[in-house]
């Protein structure tokens, strides 16, 4: 009788723990929802940091375009194919390609 009561008590405790685990894990705002929210927060934080780095880079480039004549000249030469007065631009092509 004593063993049966003890076994029922253990079974009841196990059932309560199992139900609590299921509720805490799978129900709304359970562990899985909290974990998903944590992962989403990490991903959004990473995206924000990347966007902020891009903003900082663009601000620096904007300042260079406003005031750094060497930077402006470099862009004009490299991207626009411009040259100073008296300079000649020579373009090379890959051999066999016209």
Give the pLDDT score at 60. 96
Q: Which residues of the chain have pLDDT under 70?
A: 96-98
Report the percent of the chain where pLDDT is more than 70.
Answer: 96
Q: What is the enclosing helix (H) or strand (E) of 38?
A: helix 31-67
Question: How many residues are given for the chain?
Answer: 98
Cα atoms in the 13 Å half-sphere on the side-chain side of 72: 9
Give the pLDDT score at 54. 98
Q: Could you report the per-residue pLDDT of 16-30, keeping only the tens digit for each? A: 888 887 777 777 777
Give the pLDDT score at 64. 94
């Amino acid at each position: 009788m004593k063993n049966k009561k003890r076994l029922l008590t253990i079974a009841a405790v196990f059932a309560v723990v199992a139900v609590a685990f299921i509720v805490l894990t799978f129900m709304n705002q359970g562990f899985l929802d909290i974990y998903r929210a944590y992962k989403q927060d990490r991903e959004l934080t990473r995206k924000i940091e990347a966007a902020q780095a891009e903003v900082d880079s663009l601000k620096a480039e904007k300042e260079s375009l406003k005031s750094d004549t060497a930077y402006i000249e470099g862009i004009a030469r490299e991207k626009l194919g411009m040259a100073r007065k008296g300079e000649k631009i020579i373009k090379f092509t890959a051999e066999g390609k016209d």
